[in-house]
Amino acid sequence: MVARAKITTLTEFIIQRQSEYPHAKGALTRLLNDIATAAKIVNREINAAGLVDILGTAGKENIQGEAQKKLDVFANDMFITALKGGGECCAIASEENEKVISFSNEFSEMGKYVVAMDPLDGSSNIESNVSIGTIFSIYRRITEVGGGTSEDLLQPGVNLVAAGYVIYGSSTMLVYTTGKGVNGFTLDPSVGIFCLSHPDMQFPAQSKIYSINEGNYIYFPEGVKQYIKYCQQDDVSTHRPYTSRYIGSLVADFHRNLIKGGIFLYPGTKKQPDGKLRLLYECNPIAFLAEQAGGKASNGFKRIMEIDPETLHQRAPFFVGPREMVEQVESYMQQYA
Ligand code: AHG
Ligand code: MN
Ligand code: MN
């Protein structure tokens, strides 16, 4: 019989990590497990999307004025249910809900954590079978009693305890950090278990991809236009011209760039000075992962994780990827400000 290499499951991995903190009582472990469970249910629904009546719009708009897809609503409900039932989380901020969802039942109000999430990222890609994701971020609550409030959620990224994403792609992966590196787990669909497949993920040394919705070129700030020119120049020593890749799902674009080496840009424009992506549940968690993988995330002038959020759904221009690439954009942004 051929001996199989030992597989480390997500649960084993989280518990091993927890044992490095002698005072930890397992609350974060249980919270991450609740998120993984909801992700598996969402994954099942996504895989069956063409078979069951789950494609298409739900007939409503979310707080951003965007049409909600049925899967947006389904994923939102699943994560809320899992976190509410888990007892470790006392409030959620979700892309799909205008206000904070506060859990004030006897069980959940004891929860030490709050979660900000984009339950389904890239939902415009659902119908065309292109990769989509879920983004989550976890903060320790600030208030001491009762259900969590917006005060607990309006924290800068530097206060994050953990963050990650699930990518529903050609395989399904959960990638997360608790501030000690980034680890990726692939779902083995035959047993429904996430297994460690990408330990200690880091941006590769050589990067040559840029990801931006170039259709908006005319609206971009001059610094971004200059950076795009830079990406397209011929220079062997810096591996230019770079390759352009854009999926239109932040999770999928970031995941590819993390593995292959590339920068993702969603700049502000005159009409939308803060761009499109939301600070709390898109930019901050991805920024935390990027920094933990040896990269950087900026709004062009400031570290994303140091921005003090004022409202739940506020947006920020977003440049994320390997350190040198992000610094290059920053220098163009500053030069042409
Ligand atoms: P969501 O589906 O959660 O609303 O997010 C979509 C976001 C993000 O995933 C992606 O990077 C970006 O929108 C794409 O925007 P454009 O279509 O404007 O390029
Ligand atoms: Mn999104
Ligand atoms: Mn979304």
Is the omega angle on the peptide bond into residue 241 within 30 degrees of 0, that is, cis?
Answer: yes
Distance 249 CA to ligand 2 centre (A): 7
pLDDT score of 67? 73
pLDDT higher than 70, residue 3: no
Which residue is closest in CA terms to ligand 1's atom 6? 122
**Ligand (nearest to CA of 251):** 1
Which class for 231: exposed (0-12), middle (13-18), buried (19 or more C-beta within 10 A)? buried
pLDDT range class, residue 61, cuts 50, 70, 90: confident
Give per-residue pLDDT as tens, 242-282.
999 999 999 999 999 999 999 999 999 999 999 999 999 99
Element (H, E) at 332: helix 323-335
Domains of the chain: 10-198 (3.30.540.10), 209-335 (3.40.190.80)
Residue whose CB lies within 8 A of the most ligand 1 atoms, among 63, 97, 250, 263, for a mutation test = 250
Q: What angle do CA 221, 224, 227 make, to 5 degrees?
A: 150
64 half-sphere exposure, CB direction, 13 A CA radius: 16
**Ligand (nearest to CA of 254):** 1
Distance 119 CA to ligand 2 centre (A): 8
- Work out the mean pLDDT of the chain and round it to a whole number: 94
pLDDT higher than 90, residue 37: yes
pLDDT score of 206? 93
pLDDT score of 1? 58
Provide the 3-class DSSP secondary structure of residue 29: helix
Q: Tell me, rounded to whole angstroms, the distance of Cα 3 from its chain centroid.
A: 36
pLDDT score of 4? 66
- Give the Å distances, CA to CA, from 30 to 15, 113, 159, 163, 184: 9, 11, 20, 14, 18
- The answer for residues whose C-beta is within 8 angstroms of residue 73's C-beta and 6 or more apart is 58, 60, 96
**Ligand (nearest to CA of 318):** 1
CB count in 10 Å sphere of residue 218: 8
Atom of ligand 1 nearest to the CA of 121: 3
| CA-wise closest residue to 178 among 285, 271, 273, 299 | 285
Which residue is closest in CA terms to ligand 1's atom 17? 248
**Ligand (nearest to CA of 132):** 1
Atom of ligand 1 nearest to the CA of 249: 9
3-state secondary structure 237-280: HHCECCEECCCCCHHHHHHHHHHHCEEEEECCCCCCCCCCCEHH
pLDDT score of 80? 97
Q: Which residues have any ligand 1 atom within 6 Å of their CB?
A: 66, 95, 118, 121-123, 213, 248-250, 276
Distance 176 CA to ligand 1 centre (A): 21
Of these ranges, 12-26, 35-49, 187-201, the one predicted with the greatest mean pLDDT is: 187-201
Atom of ligand 1 nearest to the CA of 264: 11
pLDDT higher than 90, residue 54: no
How confident is the model over 89-108, as a mean pLDDT?
Answer: 95
